[in-house]
Structure 1
Amino acid sequence: MSALPLATPASSSAAPADDWRTRVARAFSRAAPRYAERAVAQRIMAEPLLSRLPARAERVLDLGCGPGEMAASLARHFGRGCTVSGLDLAPGMLEVARRTHGDTARWLCGDAAALPLGDASQDLVVSNLAIQWCPDLDAVMAELHRVLRPGGRALVNTLAPGTLAEVGRAWSRPDQPAGLLSFRDAAHHRQAAQGAGFCRLDCRERALRFHYPDLAAVMASIKGIGAQPSRPGGRLTRADVARAARRYETQREPEGLPVTYRLLTLELHA
């Protein structure tokens, strides 16, 4: 529980870029061994992307591939004639992907804002819950546009304001009155996509609600989406955790403690 209260890397733009990359890579690498078992919500949220896959593609990028589950699924979907690349910032995630899925995909360590791929080299980019952690959305969109061939597509899931609102309320403190979690809205994504040169954008937003038995289960579930400490190096006391548990209990519903995600699903055409 020492990683909370929460803040997103995107809300920490004052931090040097190299420091942000290092912190995010370390956080996800630490989470890698148990990521797949904790990422139930992430797999459910991936379904809108998988339902939009084209019938054929020869070169596909899974951006923010984590332990490689989606990259392996993409390789099965498109078959032997397709080369799938799985890219992640966290070496630990890629180690798990290689160990679990072998040479199903090319595993690349890299930053979404500086993709190690050639111009117009991909038919399709798929990304599930990754770009919300990138501080420079304009740079990410520009890179997506650069690596896609003319007529190519990007299918992207990201998170919108209102995500994890219950968690923010439970962990809020008098000295931190503002929202602890910051995500960019649909208008921001539209503007960035248009600025990058995408000719068409479909953007859909919906809320998904999950329930958990207690605070420990809530915190285990959201580690998979990469929440970061609001104060690097900060530690929580038992009293902090007990206070958060009491606050969360006031939000309990018959099904359990709620966790809401505001999911943005983007379809970008190059």
Structure 2
Amino acid sequence: MSDLTLSSETNWQARVAHAFSRAAPRYDALATAQRQIGQRLWDALPPVARHVLDIGCGTGYWTQRLAKRYPCAQITGLDLAPGMLEQARKRYGDSIEWQHGDAAAQPFDECFFDLVFSNLAVQWCSEIGAVMDELYRILTPSGQAHMTTLLPGTLREIAFAWQRPEALLQTPDRASVARAIGESGLTITRQTTTVERFYYPDLKAVMASIKGVGAQIARPQASLSRNDIAAAQARFEQLRQPEGLPVSYHCLTLQLEKSL
């Protein structure tokens, strides 16, 4: 990896960590979509686990639920954003290990976790191959990873309204994810793709749902005039449904296993 690539990667990680740290105090109040999507993982988890890792744990909502589901297990929450981990520690204490770190370069020993949980986190990693390699490294033989991530098409209504698609998260497509999994040595035991739509009363509520959970990284020199906002509102109104203004999440749900 060149110095230029490394610098770009470090800068991206810093921006993601900063955005989510700023969002941490209000994250739980606005994370309705994230909670609903994560429930798909919850229903398919194995009955028993000894060492459990929550990648992209945020404020610890799913981590503490994992701790209750597996009361005899060692539970660890990993997140890139210090602000998220601070909130998690305040809310749920130190019985859970809260670890600052990157999903693509995890600070854990090989073959340690028999269960990894990750809800809507790995799409923020620019190198999906590195994430899958790390999953293979830290999982025990026969260990499982249950994950959701986002696919292209996510938040397309917002891209249409603002006419700035470059400001949205660029996610790998399903084929790229599958290739990264195959190259890592992991096996896909179950996968599903779904489109989850959530509805909001107005543009302000839409943007609060995105910014409020840290899921928008401001581009340099991005500025919006009143005319820009009015134009975005008018475009978004073209998409209005009886339920409200739609926001789509194109989700990939994965169950992975490290073969013996």
- TM-score normalised to structure 2 length: 0.93
| Alpha-carbon shift at residue 15 of structure 1 (Å) | 6.7
2:141 is equivalent to residue 153 of structure 1: no
2:21 is equivalent to residue 25 of structure 1: no
Q: Does the Cα contact within 8 Å between 1:168 and 1:181 map onto a contact in 2? A: no
Q: Which runs of 5+ in 1 are unaligned?
A: 1-12
Which residue number corresponds to residue 97 of structure 1? 88
Which residue number corresponds to residue 227 of structure 1? 216
Match 1:240 to one of 209, 228, 245? 228
Runs of 4+ in 1 over 6 A off after TM superposition: none
Which structure has the higher relative contact order (CA within 8 Å, separation 6+)? Answer: 1
Alignment of 1:107-146 (within 5 A): 107-146=98-137
Which residue number corresponds to residue 191 of structure 2? 203
| Alpha-carbon shift at residue 32 of structure 1 (Å) | 0.3
Q: 1:94 to 1:233 in 2, by over 3 A?
A: farther
**Cα distance in 2, alignment partners of residues 249 and 262 from structure 1:** 21
Q: Does the Cα contact within 8 Å between 2:161 and 2:232 map onto a contact in 1? A: yes
| Alpha-carbon shift at residue 104 of structure 1 (Å) | 3.6
Q: Which runs of 5+ in 2 are unaligned?
A: none
Query: What's the RMSD between the two structures over aligned residues?
Result: 1.6
Q: Does the Cα contact within 8 Å between 2:188 and 2:254 map onto a contact in 1? A: no
Alignment of 1:61-76 (within 5 A): 61-76=53-68
Residues 193-228 of structure 1: per-residue CA shift (max 9 Å, x gap): 010001334221011111000011111112326221
| Alpha-carbon shift at residue 250 of structure 1 (Å) | 0.9
Which residue number corresponds to residue 258 of structure 1? 246
Which moves more between the two structures, 183-192 or 60-69?
183-192
User: Which amino acid letter does the alignment assign opposite residue 11 of structure 2?
Assistant: D
User: Which amino acid letter does the alignment assign opposite residue 167 of structure 1?
Assistant: I
Aligned length: 253
Q: Does the Cα contact within 8 Å between 2:147 and 2:254 map onto a contact in 1? A: yes
Which residue number corresponds to residue 249 of structure 1? 237
Q: Does the Cα contact within 8 Å between 1:25 and 1:89 map onto a contact in 2? A: yes
2:26 is equivalent to residue 38 of structure 1: no
The DSSP-based 3-state class of the residue aligned with 1:228 is: coil
The DSSP-based 3-state class of the residue aligned with 1:74 is: helix
Q: 1:225 to 1:190 in 2, by over 3 A?
A: farther
- TM-score normalised to structure 1 length: 0.90
Residues 164-220 of structure 1: per-residue CA shift (max 9 Å, x gap): 1111100115xx7x7844222221111100100013342210111110000111111
Q: Does the Cα contact within 8 Å between 1:193 and 1:201 map onto a contact in 2? A: no
**Cα distance in 2, alignment partners of residues 94 and 247 from structure 1:** 37
Q: 1:182 to 1:15 in 2, by over 3 A?
A: farther
Q: Does the Cα contact within 8 Å between 1:60 and 1:122 map onto a contact in 2? A: yes
Q: Does the Cα contact within 8 Å between 1:186 and 1:203 map onto a contact in 2? A: no
